[in-house]
Chains A and B, each alone.
Chain A
Amino acid sequence: MAITTVHDATGRDGPPRGGAPQNRPRRPRRSLLPYLLLAPAVVLELAIHVVPMLVGAWMSLLELTQFHIRDWSTAPFVGTENYRMVLDLDSAAGAELLHSFQVTVLYTVCSVGLSWVLGTTAAVLLQRPFRGRGLLRALFLTPYALPVYTAVITWSFLFQRDNGLVNHVLVDQLQLLGDRPFWLIGDNSFVALLIVSVWRSWPFAFLCVMAGLQNIPADLYEAAAMDGAGFWRRFRSVTLPMLRPVNLVLLLVLFLWTFNDFNTPYVLFGGSAPEQADLVSIHIYRSSFKTWDFGSGSAMSVALLLFLLLVTAGYLLLTNRRRNDA
């Protein structure tokens, strides 16, 4: 932002042609205004994101238990002890964290994948105007517009074994299953969590892809149709490449949101998720808030943050290089 402003100023002050800047000062007087305008955002960013993050990193170096939370200065400094404990795969805590991490990776891959497929399919099918398109669009966006807690609590009612609608439909009405399955405990809890997660996040994918589709010129489709390209061919050779910038950001954002998702499992399972659906966010919450060991909880958080940073940086580098190659 600041750089753009300075550049614009140069453009206005200097001669319209690019050369001969020697007889003028190379840079114009720096104006304070852009920085002043930025200041509130920077202060808020520091206060809301950066400082708590650093505090979290500091906490991970302390033995911050119930004896010390009231006055952190009394908490013993333990260095990397917390990290050694939570990352030691032979210990119970480390093994649990690894399990939880694996569950989360699987959950994220499935949820992001399904959300993207559903969102893209719906957006492409709704690309051409037809009667009722507006209604369908609004309908599809409903899960995204509903408050998270309300929506997920409703899902937890639907998934109840005896009185839930899911079992009522599957067992009583369609008679697909003989025995009433559990959804909120045991093996199915992962599936239940995934369903709710996809239900919540696919409208976002739908929205982004829909916006991306508006930017694809109709000529391209016409040209492709002239060349005899069918629906699939047009989708693969026109739609997908043109959507690439949108998808790049969309997948990254969905990945981070889903990986860090706390509300869905917390509300669905009431704070202590079953092993099969023990996402990292819930696991960290349980480790710090339920067992009052904020040091090890913070250590897990920092480790997770580093992992997400690595993935993100790798993803951006990779997609960047591929684009440069292309």
Chain B
Amino acid sequence: MSRRRLAILTAAVLAAAPLTACGGSDDPSGGSAKTLTYWASNQGASLEADKQILQPELDRFEQQTGIKVNVEVVPWSDLLNRLLAAATSGQGPDVVNIGNTWSASLQATGAMVEFDDATLAKVGGRDRFVPAALAAAGAPGKPPAAVPLYSLAYALYYNKKAFADAGITTPPTTWEQVAELGRKLTGDGRWGLAVEGANASENAHHAFTFSQQYGGEWFDSAGKPTFDTPQNVAAVKRYVDLMATDKIINPSNAEYAQNQSVSDFANGKAAMLLWQAAGANLKSQNMAADAYGVAPVPFLAAPPAGGRKVNSMVAGINIAVFKHTRNPDAALEFVKFMTSDAEQVTLNKTYGSLPPVTTAASDPAFTAPEQKVLQATLATTAAPLPQVPDESTFETLVGTAIKELFADAASGKPVTEDGVRQKLSKAQQQMR
């Protein structure tokens, strides 16, 4: 082989290499003692909107404490990856928002500051937080890896005018009614229900709720996955059947992953929507608050033995501190500020979520019909997603399996029990 060949081969090796060299990105965080980097999750209508909502609050924090906070709003599609990279490299932000369902997964990395009693005391004490919300901030029996920031739950949003036009007076309370009313509402370019079919997390959340209603569990008590039990198969099939057999969902929803379902609902292309605190988002899309109603997520008309009366996960956003922070005290000071009564009322009001802080929950800002439904759901019929280290993997694998099932349903392929079981078994085998 000539030298030139050798040179080409060497170049080829290097061209072939990048895949093995996948790595996290570093974040040049400010090194000065009085600066914090904060990654906020996307709660408002856009990243820019969030920045504008948060900046005045951060300015106030700087006035009070002299600590400057640089905020970056990270889209949900990137957040977990970015957190993982930060956990791996020990570089990046000091304070972060995390989806509360990831708490146990991120806790397992050991990268987060543990909120034991002494640490909790620095941000106001354990009693400050709603117990159910704090329970969704880490694995049971361990100090939480975060504290709750915003509380959320799923609700059924329905278009009042569409319901009135179809002669429907009350929102559905069972899935059977959803299917029946949905068929009445479907037609003339409008569909009964909109879903986010290609969004793995959304799919996984619904898979959890349906599974609870069928009496299923996604993990056993030892934390091992139990994806393909008959209850879970029935649960997933019930959800996908809303498109496959009930045909009340536009097949196009199978490719939705960027909140297009909210837009469809706001634009009148769909009459119902299952969402967490959609109000703020709908407002930004020019849907008036009196144009839609909010009802609890439906149940099964005849639940099988073992079925639970659960119609939402305990959803929410937690705020966490990375152990690698150079300013742990300033970071905790910031957490205390964000969970203070004043900030809790301001921010939760803006986002339409509920404060997980007991003293702020009774504020009159949270008595709108939407918030009342969310409050009632959280208080009575919400259950936390399993707080196991593999939770985020469950969301990815099961959520993706459902995405594939929606794709089948959309292209007219039959969705059978066997087909669902195969997909779930395959997902389970990919767990380690």
Contact = CB atoms under 8 A, between A and B. Distances in A.
Interface of A: 45, 49, 52-53, 55-57, 65-67, 69-71, 91-93, 96, 160-162, 180, 182, 184-187, 249, 252-253, 256-257, 260, 262, 270-272, 274-275, 281, 284-293, 296-298, 301-302, 304-305, 308-309, 312-313, 316-317, 320
Given A92-B426, A296-B432, A320-B2, 17 more contacts: A49-B14, A55-B21, A56-B22, A66-B108, A69-B84, A70-B87, A161-B251, A161-B255, A270-B258, A272-B200, A272-B400, A291-B393, A297-B22, A309-B13, A312-B9, A313-B9, A320-B1
Interface in B383-432: 389, 392-393, 396-397, 400, 403-404, 406-408, 410-411, 425-426, 429-432
B21 A53 contact: yes
6 contacts: A52-B21, A56-B21, A70-B87, A161-B252, A260-B19, A292-B392
Contacts of A65: 432
B141 interface: no
A45 to B, nearest CB: 8
A288 B22 contact: yes
B198 interface: yes
Given A270-B257, A291-B396, A292-B105, A186 B403 contact: no
A70 B110 contact: yes
Interface in B79-96: 81, 84, 87-88, 90
B393 A290 contact: yes
Given A66-B109, A275-B404, A185 B198 contact: yes
B389 A290 contact: no
B8 A185 contact: no
A43 to B, nearest CB: 15
Given A252-B12, A312-B13, A305 B19 contact: yes
Query: What interface size band does chain B fall in?
Result: 35 or more
A186 B16 contact: no
Nearest to B23: A52
Contacts of B15: 253, 256-257, 260
Contacts of A256: 12, 15-16
Contacts of A161: 251-252, 255
A289 to B, nearest CB: 6
B77 interface: yes
A180 B13 CA distance: 43
A271 B108 CA distance: 24
A69 B109 contact: yes
A72 to B, nearest CB: 9
A132 B183 CA distance: 58
* Chain B residues touching A, majority SS: helix
B110, B403, B425, most chain A CB atoms within 10 A = B110
Interface string B324-360: 0000000000000000000000000000000000000
Contact of B20 (A57, A91, A257): A57
B28 interface: no
B84 A289 contact: yes
A70 B2 contact: no
Contacts of A70: 87-88, 90, 109-111
A69 B393 contact: no
Contacts of A286: 396
A82 to B, nearest CB: 10
Contact of A93 (B400, B408, B429): B429
Contacts of B12: 252, 256, 308-309, 312, 316
A53 B411 contact: no
A69 B88 contact: yes
Interface in B249-289: 250-252, 254-255, 257-258
B364 interface: no
Contact of B21 (A49, A160, A275, A288): A49
B56 interface: no
A304 B407 CA distance: 29
Contacts of A316: 1, 5, 8-9, 12
A168 to B, nearest CB: 14
B359 to A, nearest CB: 35
Query: 8 closest Cβ contacts across the A-B interface?
Result: A56-B20, A92-B429, A52-B21, A185-B407, A308-B16, A301-B20, A312-B12, A290-B396
A293 B19 contact: no
A301 B22 contact: yes
Given A161-B255, A249-B8, A52 B13 contact: no
Interface string B223-253: 0000000000000000000000000001110
A280 B207 CA distance: 28
Nearest to A253: B15
Contacts of B407: 182, 185-186, 274
A104 B255 CA distance: 22
Nearest to B394: A291
B20 A66 contact: no
B4 to A, nearest CB: 10
Contacts of B77: 270-271
